[in-house]
Structure 1
Amino acid sequence: MANRKKKNRKKSGLSYIESLLPTSFIELIREERRFLILIGLFFFLAGAFYDRPQVAMWLGFFFAAYSAIANDSIQTIGTFLASNADKKWWLLWLWIGGIFVITVSYSWYVYDGDVTYQRLTSKGFSEAPTSFKFLQVAAPLFLLIITRLRMPVSTTFLLLSAFATSPEGIINVLIKSLSGYFIAFAVAIVIWLGLSKYLNRLFKGEAGSFWMPVQWIVSGLLWAVWLMQDAANIAVYLPRSLELSGFLVFTGFIFFGLGILFYLRGDKIQKIVTEKSYVTDVRSATIIDGVYACVLYYFKSVSVVPMSTTWVFIGLLAGREIAMSLTDSKGKGRPLSYSFKLIAKDVSYAMIGLIISIIIAVAINPVIWDELVNYFFS
Structure 2
Amino acid sequence: MNSQYVFMFVGFILASYSIVANDAIQTLGTFLSSNQERPWWVLWLFASSILLVVFIYSWSTNCGDVAYGRLEKFPFPENFTWVYIVPPLVLLFLTNSGIPVSTTFLILTVFAPENITDMLIKSLSGYGVAFVTAIFVYKFATKSLENKFINTPYKEAPIQWVTLQWMSTAFLWSQWLIQDLANIFVYLPRNVDASMLFFSIFVILILQAFIFYINGGEIQHIVTSKTNTQDIRSATIVDFIYGLILLLFKEWSNIPMSTTWVFIGLLAGREIAITHNFQNREMKETGKILFSDALKAFAGLVVSVIIAFGLPILDQMISK
The TM-score range, normalised by the shorter chain, is over 0.9
Instruction: Give the match for residue 318 of structure 2.
Output: none
| Displacement of 1:74 | 3.1
Residue deviations 1:282-318 (CA, integer Å, cap 9, x gap): 0000000000000000000000000000000000000
CA distance in 2, matches of 1:292, 1:363: 34
Find out whether 1:117 has 2:68 as its counterpart.
yes
**C-alpha contact 2:28 2:169 (8 A) present in aligned 1:** yes
Instruction: Give the match for residue 57 of structure 2.
Output: 106
**Greater RCO (CA < 8 Å, at least 6 residues apart):** 2
1:136 to 78, 81, 84: 84
| Displacement of 1:130 | 2.3
CA distance in 1, matches of 2:147, 2:289: 23
CA distance in 1, matches of 2:278, 2:164: 26
CA distance in 2, matches of 1:160, 1:262: 25
Find out whether 1:246 has 2:165 as its counterpart.
no
Amino acid at match of 1:178: L
Residue deviations 1:148-171 (CA, integer Å, cap 9, x gap): 11010000000001111x52x111
Instruction: Give the match for residue 171 of structure 1.
Output: 117
Instruction: Give the match for residue 24 of structure 1.
Output: none
Find out whether 1:327 has 2:277 as its counterpart.
yes
Number of corresponding residues:
310
CA distance in 2, matches of 1:52, 1:317: 43
Find out whether 1:343 has 2:290 as its counterpart.
yes
Find out whether 1:361 has 2:308 as its counterpart.
yes
- Supply the RMSD in Å over aligned alpha carbons: 1.6
| Displacement of 1:138 | 2.1
2:107 to 138, 156, 159: 159
| Displacement of 1:53 | 1.3
Q: How does 1:12-91 map to 2 (within 5 A)?
A: 52-91=3-42
CA distance in 2, matches of 1:215, 1:316: 18
**C-alpha contact 2:83 2:312 (8 A) present in aligned 1:** no
| Displacement of 1:209 | 2.4
CA distance in 2, matches of 1:300, 1:194: 27
2:219 to 246, 265, 269: 269
Three-state SS of the structure 2 residue aligned to 1:106 is helix
Three-state SS of the structure 2 residue aligned to 1:321 is helix
Three-state SS of the structure 1 residue aligned to 2:16 is helix
Amino acid at match of 1:257: L
Instruction: Give the match for residue 231 of structure 1.
Output: 181
**C-alpha contact 1:261 1:267 (8 A) present in aligned 2:** yes
CA distance in 2, matches of 1:335, 1:203: 17
Residue deviations 1:220-247 (CA, integer Å, cap 9, x gap): 1100000000000000111000011111
Amino acid at match of 1:238: L
Three-state SS of the structure 1 residue aligned to 2:110 is helix
CA distance in 2, matches of 1:336, 1:176: 29
**C-alpha contact 1:184 1:316 (8 A) present in aligned 2:** yes
Find out whether 1:190 has 2:136 as its counterpart.
yes
Q: How high is the TM-score relative to the length of structure 1?
A: 0.79
Instruction: Give the match for residue 221 of structure 1.
Output: 171
1:211 to 155, 161, 181: 161
| Displacement of 1:352 | 1.1
Q: Name the % identity.
A: 44
Unaligned runs of 5+ in 1: 1-48, 368-378
**C-alpha contact 1:203 1:283 (8 A) present in aligned 2:** no
CA distance in 2, matches of 1:86, 1:289: 19
| Displacement of 1:327 | 0.4
* Structure (1 or 2) with the larger CA radius of gyration: 1
Residue deviations 1:5-43 (CA, integer Å, cap 9, x gap): xxxxxxxxxxxxxxxxxxxxxxxxxxxxxxxxxxxxxxx
| Displacement of 1:133 | 2.9
**C-alpha contact 1:221 1:293 (8 A) present in aligned 2:** yes
| Displacement of 1:204 | 4.6
Q: How high is the TM-score relative to the length of structure 2?
A: 0.93
Amino acid at match of 1:70: A
CA distance in 2, matches of 1:199, 1:274: 16
The more displaced of 337-346 and 226-235 is 337-346
**C-alpha contact 1:83 1:280 (8 A) present in aligned 2:** yes
